[in-house]
Structure 1
Amino acid sequence: MYYEVSGKGDPLIVLHGAYMNIPTMGAIIPKLAKTHRVYALEFQGHGRTTDIDRPITYPHLADDIAAFMDAVGLKKADVFGYSMGAAAGLQFAIRHPEKVNKLAAASVAYDVEGWQPEFKEFIPQPFAKDYRKLAANPEGFPELVRKLIALEKEPMAWGEQVKSLKTPVLIITGDADVSTLEHSVALFRLLGGGGAGDMGKPLSPSRLAVLPATSHTAVITQTELLHAFIEPFLKGITPKGMFEAP
């Protein structure tokens, strides 16, 4: 598994989306590295990480993250994942909760029914040219496509597992993302969010952020806005209501 380490501070693992790699995550990695020790990973068959004779599934990806942490001596870390990386991060928090402090998940779903219909039919041929630039096997793209199409059709029904999570989760979604807005709200409610503030009860440790006029691929390009959501969440900073003591 290929990875890069940058920055200083509390450990933060960054997980890319399907057909992506560390460079295509853009400026959010160096931005986060200003205040965190960032461990950016490349998943099975992506970037410079070789493919192996194994399906790509969310449990496999989650266990790979856990194995990576053991290999580099990380006992616990925050996690930021985008798209496939967000779903892998969610499954990681389900399967290895003792290894996760907080999870920021951008463009995520916990059930296959949460994906937009158009997303289920998408075949990502535009990524083929970029794949060759970094891949250990430049001819491996068709096999990666086969595995990732299978991943998109993998049964996902994690509602009960999500409801049992103790890990705080920041859900980030575009208002025109590949997961529906209704699904993101349902995920937030499963995590204990969506209640009324200012009524004497503490806010949920999980949060929901919706980026306006934002498609799926535009989520990761809005570095400043993403960072403005992620950094306060990881630091535990909560906006003060007018009824709270200063």
Structure 2
Amino acid sequence: MGYADVNGLRLWYEVHGNGRPLVLLHGGYGAVEMFAPVLPALTARRQVIAVDLQGHGRTADVDRPLRYESLADDVAALLRHLDLPEADVLGYSLGGGVALRTAIQHPGLVRRLVLVSTPCRRQGWYPEVLAAMAAQDERVGEQMRGTPPHELYARIAPRPEDWPRLWARTGELLRREYDWSAEVAALATPTLLVYADADAIPVTHMAHFYGLLGGGHRDAGWDGTDRPASRLAVLPGLTHYDIVASPALPAAVLPFLTHEVRAPQ
């Protein structure tokens, strides 16, 4: 574990386990510790590279706006720094947006993509979630002092006083409109979409996203010949906020990372 100097940023990463590399990208206001409950299951089968994104966890902020696109370039630069020609990438929530942009912008580096509780356009969130995102600023960050995410940040961040700044900059990111539907439809990377059945994203958007990836258009056939390369998992009894800690997550992810993808007919 340590820092990689990439794109003017000292990016914190940790490596756990052995095998084919799997990059983990945390959600907003989080850090690599967000994956602690599922890390043992993942590292039993894979080499896990967990990253603290710009301004989060142990990675100090720099004079650069938070953008999904630049965060994705950081992930790609880290893979090149580690001399990895390709890796599987799993992102959760905000980290899912970064993972998706990594696959879009650097398709040769991403072997398989896992997006957990992630929409492909900003309007894919429920309206009340969008309203909460729009309200995130320094004032809300101050109100979040004493919560578990703040306690973790205060313990590990190079500049704990940047906590309100992180909320302001993340809020500015979350208020920006985006729609990556056309780029998703052109994506060749086999992708697994994972959602909770009570997620912050409507089931209708889950189906739309899966459809863009080639899923849900036809029966797979008795032998699975017409199965799409991408997959969809909706995990029962979970929400957007606890899915990342559930043992159901690695149980859904690991088979996808190892199954053979059929060539298009």
Partner of 2:121: 111
Deviation per CA, 1:92-139, whole angstroms, max 9, x where unpaired? Answer: 110000000000110001111101122223346243333211110010
Q: CA deviation at 1:24?
A: 2.2
Answer yes or no: is 1:21 the counterpart of 2:31.
yes
Deviation per CA, 1:38-62, whole angstroms, max 9, x where unpaired? Answer: 1111100111011101111110111
Instruction: State whether residues 219 and 226 of structure 2, in contact with CA within 8 Å, keep that contact through their aligned partners in structure 1.
Output: no
Partner of 2:237: 213
Partner of 2:57: 47
Instruction: State whether residues 45 and 51 of structure 1, in contact with CA within 8 Å, keep that contact through their aligned partners in structure 2.
Output: yes
* Residue identity (%): 37
Q: TM-score, normalising length from structure 1?
A: 0.92
Q: TM-score, normalising length from structure 2?
A: 0.86
Q: CA RMSD in A?
A: 1.5
Partner of 1:197: 220
The structure-2 alpha-carbon separation of the partners of 1:145 and 1:54, relative to structure 1 and needing over 3 Å to count, comes to same
Deviation per CA, 1:199-233, whole angstroms, max 9, x where unpaired? Answer: 6742001000001222111111212x111110110
Partner of 1:228: 251
Instruction: State whether residues 19 and 46 of structure 1, in contact with CA within 8 Å, keep that contact through their aligned partners in structure 2.
Output: yes
Distance 1:233 1:138 in 2: 38
Instruction: State whether residues 52 and 58 of structure 2, in contact with CA within 8 Å, keep that contact through their aligned partners in structure 1.
Output: yes
Partner of 1:162: 184
For residue 195 of structure 2, give the secondary structure of its aligned residue in structure 1. strand
Partner of 2:40: 30
Answer yes or no: is 1:138 the counterpart of 2:160.
yes
Instruction: State whether residues 61 and 88 of structure 1, in contact with CA within 8 Å, keep that contact through their aligned partners in structure 2.
Output: yes
Instruction: State whether residues 45 and 144 of structure 1, in contact with CA within 8 Å, keep that contact through their aligned partners in structure 2.
Output: yes
The gaps in structure 2 that reach 5 residues or longer are 1-10
Instruction: State whether residues 57 and 154 of structure 1, in contact with CA within 8 Å, keep that contact through their aligned partners in structure 2.
Output: no
Partner of 1:178: 200
For residue 232 of structure 2, give the secondary structure of its aligned residue in structure 1. strand
Distance 2:14 2:27 in 1: 16
For residue 49 of structure 2, give the secondary structure of its aligned residue in structure 1. strand
Distance 2:126 2:260 in 1: 32
Distance 2:172 2:166 in 1: 10
Figure out how many residues of one structure are paired with residues of the other and give that number. 237
